[in-house]
C-alpha cells in the first residue's frame, strides 16, 4: 500500500493537516530574567470555538516546510478538501479523490492562543468506488490494512451498489495551529517523526 494511502486513511496530517507528533512551538521572550510565554491564554475546556472560525471552508493551497514552521513551499494536491466547524468545536471534514469520498468527524477545543487539539479520537466514513478490478483490489488492501493496525477499529463495512462503505473509529490525537490571515483560515501542524511541518490555507465557502 502506498505512503499516500496510509497518510490519508490514518489522517496523519489534519485536515490532512491534522495531527501532530510534537508539542506545538511556543513563542517566548525573556523579561527581567523571567521567561514569558506569549499568546498563551488560560482557556476553559467548555469554551466554544470562536465564531470567526465557524462555517464552511474549502482548501485553496497546501504547503510543506521545515519542522520549525518556516520555509514553506506549495505542493500539488490531487484531492479536494472541505470542512465545516461549529461553535461547539464539532468538525466535519470531507476529502474527495480518485478513489472515493472520506468524511471525518471529530471534536476540537482550544489549548490557548492559536493552539487546538481533539479528544484523541475521530470517526471516518468512506465511500470507495467499487466497479473495476483495480478499485476492488484497492478496497481489499484498505480493509487488510485497517484490520492489522491498532490505530483504527472497523465499525461497519459493506458494499452499496457500485460503492463500498467503510466506517472506522480511529484513535488519533490531533494538535495544530489555527488562525485567520486576510480573511483566510490557516492551519499548521508539525510532524516530528517525519521532520517537517505542513500548512493549509482555506477560503470561506
Per-residue confidence in pLDDT tens, the chain, 205 aa: 444 443 443 333 333 333 333 333 334 333 344 333 344 444 444 557 999 999 999 999 999 999 999 999 999 888 999 999 999 999 999 999 999 999 999 999 999 899 999 988 899 999 999 999 999 999 999 999 999 999 899 999 999 999 999 999 998 888 899 999 999 999 999 988 889 999 999 999 9
Three-class SS state of 24: coil
Is residue 47 within 8 A of residue 89, CB to CB? The reply is no
Rounded to whole angstroms, how far apart are CA atoms 9 and 4?
9
- What pLDDT score does 46 carry? 54
- What pLDDT score does 162 carry? 96
Structure-block grid coordinates of residue 109:
477545543
Residue 109 CB coordination number (10 Å): 17
- What pLDDT score does 173 carry? 83
Domain boundaries, the chain: 3-23+49-204
Three-class SS state of 164: strand
Structure-block grid coordinates of residue 35:
521567561
- What pLDDT score does 63 carry? 96
Rounded to whole angstroms, how far apart are CA atoms 172 and 117?
11
Residue carrying C-alpha cell 478499485 = 135
Q: What is the pTM of this model?
A: 0.73
- What pLDDT score does 45 carry? 47
Amino acid at each position: 500500500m502506498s505512503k499516500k494511502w496510509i497518510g490519508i486513511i490514518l489522517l496523519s496530517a489534519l485536515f490532512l493537516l491534522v495531527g501532530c507528533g510534537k508539542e506545538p512551538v511556543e513563542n517566548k521572550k525573556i523579561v527581567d530574567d523571567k521567561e514569558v510565554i506569549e499568546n498563551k491564554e488560560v482557556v476553559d475546556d467548555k469554551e466554544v470555538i470562536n465564531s470567526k472560525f465557524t462555517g464552511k471552508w474549502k482548501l485553496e493551497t497546501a504547503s510543506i516546510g521545515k519542522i520549525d514552521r518556516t520555509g514553506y513551499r506549495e505542493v500539488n494536491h490531487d484531492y479536494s478538501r472541505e470542512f465545516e466547524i461549529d461553535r461547539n468545536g464539532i468538525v466535519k471534514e470531507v476529502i474527495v479523490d480518485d478513489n472515493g469520498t472520506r468524511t471525518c468527524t471529530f471534536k476540537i477545543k482550544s489549548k490557548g492562543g492559536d493552539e487546538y487539539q481533539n479528544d484523541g479520537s475521530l470517526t471516518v466514513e468512506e465511500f470507495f468506488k467499487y466497479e473495476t478490478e483495480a478499485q476492488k483490489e484497492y478496497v481489499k488492501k484498505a480493509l487488510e490494512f485497517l484490520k492489522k493496525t491498532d490505530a483504527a477499529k472497523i465499525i461497519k463495512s459493506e458494499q452499496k451498489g457500485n460503492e463500498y462503505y467503510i466506517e472506522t473509529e480511529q484513535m488519533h490525537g490531533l494538535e495544530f495551529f489555527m488562525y485567520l490571515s486576510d480573511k483566510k483560515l490557516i492551519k499548521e501542524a508539525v510532524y516530528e517523526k517525519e521532520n517537517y511541518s505542513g500548512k493549509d490555507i482555506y477560503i470561506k465557502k
